[in-house]
Structure 1
Amino acid sequence: MDEVEVRRLRDDLADFVGDVFGSLTRVGWQDRAASYLQGLMIDGRRKSIQPMAGRLDGVHDQALNHFVTNSPWDVNPVRARLAQRMDTVIRPLAWAVDDTGWLKCGSASPAVARQYTGTAGKVTNCQIGVSVNLVTDTASCPANWRLFLPAAWDPDTSPDPDVDRRRTRAGIPDKVRHREKWRLALDMIDELTGWGLRAPLIVADAGYGDAAEFRHGLTERDIPYVVQVSTNTGVHRHDTVRTTPPYQGVGKPPTQRYRQPTVSVKDLVLTDGQARTVAWRNGSRIRGGKPVKMQSRFVFLRVRPAGRVLLTEYRGQDLPEAWLIAEWPTGHDEPTKYWLSNLPTTTPKRTLIRWAKLRWRIEHDYRELKTGLGLDHYEGRTWQGWHHHVTLVSAAHAFCTLQRLHHPKAATPA
């Protein structure tokens, strides 16, 4: 947005800040929040504090920096109110779980380490943020965040004798320890539930879908999911039965188990798959005055996801059935993507694909958050500052989304 557009929306922004940042009761805090949101939305190549303050009238960069980096305001009430408001407005079809990277040069920023990030497509020096987004086909909003803490930053697992000093310098709370990204995702889902929201469905990429613990955690919470998995994920055919090995009369009698070995989703689809063409929604392209439907070829099979985790959880029981979905585009020798879903057997195939493909929204979100709203432009080096910044960026994104929904011609942040 340009400065004229932001000034035109000043009254709307004041109402939005008063609602979402209502928990910030100290004098000047809501004004600082409004200024920061304006700085994020106004056109500009760099959205770090100094350049933003230079584009705002009557705002000093030191005051803005103190508000983001040092002021002790709690992000949780802000995130809760933001999530509640956006849940009511956009009525999400699903919650999308994903992570993104902040590329870094040094080692002082909290949780920075050499690790893989899809942002760079390789292992590099970066921070990783995990988010849960409320998504539909037409609108979405980040609702919660966690900064992933690598094992190298955990005094319980790091061999580095300097880890405590690094944590103190970055302001990392003592209770924060290394947790896998899928555990952080479940933590955030529980937190959102505690704020009065209910997940209609979870979608996620293979970084989360490959974790049987994550899928089982969703099942325990009675949350349906459609999650991508890797080609080597092990499953049983749905009609595989458990048998009891012969008892030799010595020791404890054996329990029933699956005698047939597991098979990878790739091998099963190649063996048993019958691809069919499915169209799941209208695309953005127009042909002959009508939108072109999004379509591809897919295989649908009923399976029993396998693995030690699930065998332990369902000891003495049949493993639960699930959908295995594979996208097998025309002209390809094998499928290109695989998903598992615990949705009912009666779920229409078109609906399964629509949910599986819904995760594209989060890629759109990350692109807008980074290129338009400066998500990865924050230069501070504190745990609290990172959480303040991503919360403010999420609020700016939500405000822009509300403007687009209520005023379709509203400008997009640049």
Structure 2
Amino acid sequence: MILNEMNGTASVEDVLTLTLDALRDVKARLRPVFGQERIAASAGRFLETLLGNEPRKTGWMRAEAAGDPGPWRQQALLGRAQWDADALRDVVRAHVVDHFGDADAVLVVDETGFLKKGAASCGVSRQYTGSAGKITNCQIGVFATYVSDKGHAFLDRALYLPKSWTDKPERLAAVHVPEDVRFASKPSLATTMIGRALAAEVPFSWVAGDSVYGVGDLEMALRAAGKGYVLGIHQNHWFHSWRPDLLISGEARDIVKALPEELWIQCSAGHGTKGERLYDWLYCPMADLEGQIADSDTPGLWTRGLLVRRNPADGDLAYFTTWCPQGTSLETLARVEGTRWRIEECFETAKNEFGLDHNETRSWHGWHRHVSLVMLAYAMMAAVRSKANTLKKSPLTTRKNLSDGRSRKSAVSP
């Protein structure tokens, strides 16, 4: 569970108190999103069921946990009730910034799949998803996760609509997709989410993503905003050096082969569940550009470069294009790239613990409402974990916890 990363300094009672306080706080934040008190109360109960121990968060199971005779109230919240899922997204964003905000934070963008049967659910299509490792019937959601030294949580989300949907207005109308929604690629969705973060003055300095997001408008938008990035690319991506002391051009894989072995440096991509994640790294700066020449609002020299990560175990290589203030160290770039695994952790925990992929609605609004509520549940418990890790536990409390036999998961259930 999300609380498994606690460092052991908080007692079960401490965690329970923090959880209940956090639940009251998020319910207060939720209230302005809903026009009617009964809908706000229903949303609060929905949130409580997401935090419960039920292995699946289906409508019937959520209803049972909330004490309802059936799933109709849950279904109404996600479907028929009048409220704005984007307003809830903004509540989630404010909560994340309040608890984890840091000027040196990283926004990580990636997508995940939601396996579906049939063809009626909004955006469902036969398409590739890394969640299944194959082409299958699914929805794809693009997400942005906020990562800082204080913690990490989802910041934004968008449902990807393939052209098999956007080219058929009747399909869009059937699931209540807004009329102004048009086809947008996954990088375009990520660029829009980063634009929303910039407009909301979310503090961050970096963006990280895999090769889906590594080339195109996303890069240009980040340069214009004065934000650094470490974005995955394919091995055949072409680089050309503009530096007078380094005359080199070609595909990334060929550049790496031509560089001497002594340029590789071993350093950590960050602390993982099994300790420091050590890789071999090679960094090749390609060009130094004035920020304003690069259409950036941030003055000074910025460096465009090639970063390569090598797995010491099998020699597997991963390639990245980088944009950073001149003088940025390889260790910093490795740390930024290393934050990408946090979004995978978010996906896994949100699906296993909070029912991210247990959405039973078919509409555009239903998907965004369900996902936004899950994002809030995740952000809430991530904040609880962060606060719990700052507490000190007395020896007496430790002995009591060892004897009462309760698990962390059962202790924090509302």
TM-score after normalising by structure 1: 0.81
Moved over 6 A (4+): 4-8
Matched, 1:368 2:380: no
**Against the structure 1 CA distance between its residues 48 and 331, is the aligned structure 2 distance closer, same or farther, given a 3 Å change threshold?**
closer
Residues 283, 102 of structure 1: alpha-carbon distance in 2 compared, 3 angstrom cutoff: closer
Distance of 2:195 and 2:361 partners within structure 1 = 29
Which of 347, 367, 391 aligns to 2:328? It is: 347
Shift in Å at residue 281 of structure 1? Answer: 4.0
How many Å apart are 1:72 and its aligned residue?
2.0
> What is the CA–CA distance in structure 2 between the aligned matches of 1:38 and 1:268, rounded to whole Å?
53
RMSD across aligned C-alpha pairs, in angstroms? 3.0
Please state whether the residue corresponding to 1:294 is helix, strand or coil.
strand
Larger deviation: 164-173 or 189-198?
189-198
Name the residue aligned to 1:294.
Answer: 277
1:402 to 376, 380, 383: 383
Shift in Å, 1:85: 2.2
SS of equivalent to 1:175: coil
Equivalent residues in 2 for 1:1-400, closer than 5 Å: 9-10=19-20, 12-58=22-68, 60-92=70-102, 93-136=105-148, 139-154=151-166, 158=167, 163-209=168-214, 211-239=215-243, 262-273=249-260, 274-285=263-274, 292-303=275-286, 321-330=303-312, 332=314, 335-400=316-381
C-alpha deviation, 1:114, in angstroms: 1.2
Deviation at 1:303, TM superposition (A): 2.1
| Cα 1:331/1:63, change in 2 over 3 Å | closer
Partners of 2:171 and 2:313 in 1: CA distance:
52
Measured after TM superposition, the shift of residue 142 of structure 1 is 1.0
Of all paired residues, the percent bearing the same amino acid is 26
SS at match of 2:201: coil
Assess, with a 3 A threshold, how the Cα gap between structure 1 residues 134 and 263 changes in structure 2: closer, same or farther: same
Deviation at 1:282, TM superposition (A): 4.3
**Partners of 2:43 and 2:56 in 1: CA distance:** 18
| Unaligned runs of at least 5 residues, structure 1 | 242-259, 286-291, 306-312, 314-319
- Separation of aligned partners in 1, 2:251 and 2:62: 51
Q: Provide the C-alpha distance between the structure 1 equivalents of 2:281 and 2:248, rounded to a whole number of angstroms.
A: 25
> Within 1, Cα distance between the matches of 2:185 and 2:66?
40
Alpha-carbon offset, residue 12 of structure 1: 3.8
The separation in 2 between residues aligned to 1:240 and 1:114, in whole angstroms, is: 49
Q: Name the structure with the higher helix share.
A: 2
When residues 61 and 236 of structure 1 are mapped into structure 2, their CA distance, relative to the original with a 3 A threshold, is: same
User: 1:309 corresponds to which residue?
Assistant: none
Deviations 1:348-378 (A, max 9, x none): 2211111111111001000001011110111
**Structure number with bigger Rg:** 1
C-alpha distance in 2 between matches for 1:220 and 1:6:
45
Query: Is residue 46–residue 66 contact of structure 2 (8 Å, CA) maintained in 1?
Result: no
Count of aligned pairs between the two proteins = 369
In structure 2, what is the Cα distance between the partners aligned to 1:78 and 1:270? 49
The separation in 1 between residues aligned to 2:108 and 2:177, in whole angstroms, is: 27
Give the secondary-structure state (helix, strand or coil) at the position aligned to 1:372.
helix
**More deviation, 37-46/261-270:** 261-270
1:344 to 1:172, Cα distance in 2 relative to 1, 3 A: same
Aligned to 1:308: none
C-alpha separation in 1, matches of 2:164 and 2:368 = 20
| Cα separation, partners in 2 of 1:331 and 1:31, compared to 1, 3 Å | closer
Which one-letter code corresponds to 1:228 in the other structure?
G
> SS of the residue aligned with 1:22?
helix
Q: Which has the higher contact order (CA 8 A, sep 6+)?
A: 2
Kept in 2, the 8 Å contact 1:23–1:77? The answer is: yes
Unaligned runs of 5+ in 2: 2-12, 289-294, 296-301, 390-406
AA paired with 1:213? D
> Partners of 1:19 and 1:278 in 2: how far apart?
41
- Native 8 Å contact 2:270 2:339 kept in 1: no
Distance 1:208 1:169, change over 3 A: same
Q: Does structure 2 retain, via aligned residues, the 8 Å contact 1:18–1:30?
A: no
CA distance change for structure 1 residues 63 and 282 in 2, over 3 Å: closer, same or farther? closer
Deviations 1:204-246 (A, max 9, x none): 111101x2222112112222111111111111134379xxxxx
